[in-house]
Structure 1
């Protein structure tokens, strides 16, 4: 689909990481999403990007270290000059903090089943990002899919 975590609405069993994202969203905002297509977020300006942009099917991080990190560094350096909020999930994303104004960062563990209980659940990234957007005088995100 081209959007991190997103799957077509025809997918009836959501991937575990997306289920965790939606579980946190319900806890944070009371929103119960069941559709995996995150295009409505994209349409409001949410940019979902993995640290490494390709992988072998079924092999997590198989393309780590082949150059994507340099590219995503440059993307984030450019985006950091704009009035936007960065939600950094996981240690790999946290490596990008050095390029971003601290006041625009929401950080937690990754929502994957392996790490969600180590700080993702309870982190309230959706309400916190909307708070930062309000403080910047920008529109909040409607996180409903």
Structure 2
């Protein structure tokens, strides 16, 4: 797949900026040095392939990609089929099972069907070295994803931004347009899920907000 046309002009404009040139050079040098970088090169911008700009209805913000083999594929919280479901996603599934009637906990962690329904699944940092969490933080990705959020803030369609945890809440401060909505709470990670993520009912709340504006709800079952 390729970047959806609706995102193309924005991404090309970012790629022409100095920060992005330096970022690209850094990631390419890391790969060239024989380091294992996730996700694979062709999946780094997957979020922009599966969710066209004009169809973004919900935004989920993660931190950086999973750093274990075969996990990350460019969508936050999501892992490839056949890979063990990570703890944060397992907690999201638990919350979905108690929040959404009929939801059954899947045996895989691939959330591609969410992306295809208009859920932009955006990590703040889009690459990572194997086994080294946050290894590509402050390399330039934060500028790119901040610009993505500023661009989303300017979109005419109302968007629901789901901000879990302090990191996402801080990142979401650029969302200022009145027609957008913010849903926020604790992160689903095992460290904080018991502080209010469990029982937050954010998934049904998002669907309620979509319904109120006459938009189709998200089928959270994967």
Shared topology, TM-score over 0.5?
yes
Query: Aligned-pair distance for 1:87?
Result: 0.8
Superposed CA RMSD in Å reads 1.7
Distance in 1 between residues matched to 2:190 and 2:128, nearest whole Å: 19
Instruction: Describe the SS at the equivalent of 1:49.
Output: strand
Query: Which residue is equivalent to 2:111?
Result: 38
Aligned with residue 131 of structure 1, among 208, 211, 215:
208
Distance in 2 between residues matched to 1:136 and 1:95, nearest whole Å: 27
The answer to whether the Cα contact below 8 Å between 1:84 and 1:133 also exists between their aligned partners in 2 is no
TM-score by length of 1: 0.88
Regions of 4+ moved over 3 Å: none
Distance in 2 between residues matched to 1:127 and 1:25, nearest whole Å: 8
Q: 1:99 aligned to 2:174?
A: yes
Query: Which residue is equivalent to 1:61?
Result: 134
Where relative contact order (Cα < 8 A, 6+ residues apart) is larger, the structure is 1
TM-score by length of 2: 0.60
**Unaligned residue ranges in structure 1 (runs of 5+):** none
Query: Which residue is equivalent to 2:94?
Result: 23
Query: Which residue is equivalent to 2:67?
Result: none
> How many residue pairs end up in the alignment?
144
**Unaligned residue ranges in structure 2 (runs of 5+):** 1-72
Q: What whole-Å deviation, never above 9, does each CA across 1:103-126 have from its counterpart, x for those lacking one?
A: 611111111112211221111111
